[in-house]
Amino acid sequence: MIETIKHYFDSFNIGDTEGMLSCLSDDVAHHVNEGGVRRGKDMFRDFCEHMEECYREELTDMTLFISDDGKRAAAEYVVNGTYLKTDDGLPEANGQTYTLPAGSFFTLGDGLITRITTYYNLSDWRNQIS
Protein backbone atom coordinates (compact mmCIF):
# COMPACT_ATOMS: atom_id res chain seq x y z
CA MET A 1 0.00 0.00 0.00
CA ILE A 2 2.89 2.38 0.62
CA GLU A 3 3.67 2.11 -3.10
CA THR A 4 0.25 3.61 -3.88
CA ILE A 5 1.04 6.63 -1.69
CA LYS A 6 4.50 6.98 -3.26
CA HIS A 7 3.01 6.85 -6.76
CA TYR A 8 0.40 9.46 -5.79
CA PHE A 9 3.06 11.91 -4.60
CA ASP A 10 5.48 11.15 -7.46
CA SER A 11 2.63 11.92 -9.87
CA PHE A 12 1.86 15.15 -8.01
CA ASN A 13 5.44 16.32 -8.31
CA ILE A 14 5.52 15.86 -12.09
CA GLY A 15 2.06 17.37 -12.63
CA ASP A 16 0.51 14.05 -13.69
CA THR A 17 -3.13 14.32 -12.63
CA GLU A 18 -4.04 11.06 -14.36
CA GLY A 19 -1.29 9.31 -12.41
CA MET A 20 -2.74 10.67 -9.18
CA LEU A 21 -6.24 9.61 -10.21
CA SER A 22 -5.02 6.07 -10.87
CA CYS A 23 -4.29 5.80 -7.14
CA LEU A 24 -7.81 6.79 -6.07
CA SER A 25 -11.02 4.84 -5.60
CA ASP A 26 -13.94 6.03 -7.73
CA ASP A 27 -15.69 7.39 -4.64
CA VAL A 28 -12.63 8.98 -3.00
CA ALA A 29 -13.37 11.56 -0.30
CA HIS A 30 -11.01 14.53 -0.60
CA HIS A 31 -10.98 16.71 2.53
CA VAL A 32 -9.40 20.02 1.55
CA ASN A 33 -7.53 22.17 4.08
CA GLU A 34 -10.05 24.62 5.59
CA GLY A 35 -12.56 23.61 2.92
CA GLY A 36 -15.28 21.12 2.19
CA VAL A 37 -15.23 17.50 1.13
CA ARG A 38 -15.08 16.69 -2.55
CA ARG A 39 -16.33 13.23 -3.46
CA GLY A 40 -15.32 11.20 -6.48
CA LYS A 41 -12.59 11.30 -9.08
CA ASP A 42 -14.31 13.94 -11.22
CA MET A 43 -14.32 16.46 -8.38
CA PHE A 44 -10.71 15.58 -7.56
CA ARG A 45 -9.74 16.15 -11.21
CA ASP A 46 -11.50 19.55 -11.18
CA PHE A 47 -9.62 20.48 -8.00
CA CYS A 48 -6.28 19.51 -9.57
CA GLU A 49 -7.01 21.54 -12.71
CA HIS A 50 -7.82 24.58 -10.60
CA MET A 51 -4.69 24.14 -8.48
CA GLU A 52 -2.47 23.81 -11.57
CA GLU A 53 -3.90 27.08 -12.87
CA CYS A 54 -3.22 29.01 -9.65
CA TYR A 55 -0.16 27.30 -8.12
CA ARG A 56 3.02 25.50 -9.09
CA GLU A 57 4.14 23.24 -6.25
CA GLU A 58 6.74 20.60 -5.52
CA LEU A 59 6.73 18.48 -2.39
CA THR A 60 10.10 17.72 -0.76
CA ASP A 61 11.45 16.23 2.47
CA MET A 62 8.77 13.54 2.28
CA THR A 63 8.31 11.08 5.14
CA LEU A 64 5.66 8.37 4.75
CA PHE A 65 3.99 6.33 7.46
CA ILE A 66 1.62 3.38 7.15
CA SER A 67 -0.37 1.52 9.79
CA ASP A 68 0.44 -2.12 10.50
CA ASP A 69 -2.81 -3.24 8.88
CA GLY A 70 -2.18 -1.12 5.75
CA LYS A 71 -5.52 0.69 6.04
CA ARG A 72 -4.21 4.12 7.00
CA ALA A 73 -1.22 6.16 5.95
CA ALA A 74 0.23 9.62 6.55
CA ALA A 75 2.80 11.83 4.92
CA GLU A 76 4.75 14.80 6.20
CA TYR A 77 6.47 17.05 3.68
CA VAL A 78 7.42 20.58 2.67
CA VAL A 79 5.44 22.41 -0.02
CA ASN A 80 7.66 24.59 -2.20
CA GLY A 81 5.40 26.73 -4.33
CA THR A 82 4.74 29.70 -6.54
CA TYR A 83 1.43 31.56 -6.49
CA LEU A 84 0.65 32.00 -10.20
CA LYS A 85 -2.91 33.29 -10.49
CA THR A 86 -5.18 34.94 -7.92
CA ASP A 87 -7.42 32.35 -6.29
CA ASP A 88 -10.96 33.27 -5.21
CA GLY A 89 -11.04 34.97 -1.81
CA LEU A 90 -7.24 35.03 -1.47
CA PRO A 91 -4.66 37.81 -1.87
CA GLU A 92 -3.57 38.87 -5.35
CA ALA A 93 -1.03 36.63 -7.05
CA ASN A 94 2.11 38.02 -8.64
CA GLY A 95 4.49 35.08 -8.64
CA GLN A 96 5.14 35.01 -4.90
CA THR A 97 7.00 31.95 -3.62
CA TYR A 98 6.32 30.08 -0.40
CA THR A 99 7.62 27.17 1.65
CA LEU A 100 5.19 25.42 4.01
CA PRO A 101 5.29 22.33 6.17
CA ALA A 102 2.23 20.20 5.44
CA GLY A 103 0.76 16.77 5.94
CA SER A 104 -1.72 14.39 4.38
CA PHE A 105 -3.67 11.53 5.89
CA PHE A 106 -5.07 8.62 3.90
CA THR A 107 -7.52 5.77 4.22
CA LEU A 108 -6.73 2.83 1.92
CA GLY A 109 -8.82 -0.01 0.60
CA ASP A 110 -8.41 -2.59 -2.15
CA GLY A 111 -5.04 -1.10 -3.08
CA LEU A 112 -6.47 2.40 -3.62
CA ILE A 113 -6.79 5.65 -1.68
CA THR A 114 -10.36 6.10 -0.44
CA ARG A 115 -9.80 9.27 1.64
CA ILE A 116 -7.29 12.12 1.49
CA THR A 117 -7.12 14.82 4.15
CA THR A 118 -4.54 17.57 3.73
CA TYR A 119 -3.38 20.12 6.32
CA TYR A 120 -1.15 23.19 6.19
CA ASN A 121 -1.09 26.53 7.98
CA LEU A 122 -3.11 28.91 5.78
CA SER A 123 -2.17 31.89 7.98
CA ASP A 124 1.53 31.12 7.43
CA TRP A 125 0.91 30.88 3.67
CA ARG A 126 -0.90 34.24 3.64
CA ASN A 127 1.96 35.87 5.54
CA GLN A 128 4.51 34.50 3.09
CA ILE A 129 2.72 35.73 -0.02
CA SER A 130 1.71 39.16 1.39
The answer for residues whose C-beta is within 8 angstroms of residue 16's C-beta and 6 or more apart is none
90-126 confidence digits (pLDDT tens): 899 999 999 999 999 999 999 999 999 999 999 999 9
Q: Considering only residues 126 and 33, tell me which one the structure prediction assigns the higher pLDDT.
A: 126
CA distance 61 to 108: 23
CATH architecture of 2-129: Roll (3.10)
- Residue 1 reports pLDDT greater than 90: no
Cross-sheet strand order for the sheet of 24-31: 37-39, 24-31, 112-120, 97-109, 72-83, 55-66
Taking CA atoms, 38 is separated from 1, 21, 50, 61, 71, in Å, by 23, 14, 13, 27, 21
pLDDT of residue 2: 87
Q: Count the Cβ atoms, other than its own, within 10 Å of residue 83.
A: 22
CA distance 3 to 1: 5
Phi, psi of 15 (to 5 degrees): 70, 30
Alpha carbons within 13 A on the beta-carbon side of 83: 19
Does the pTM exceed 0.75? yes
Query: 83 in helix, strand or coil?
Result: strand
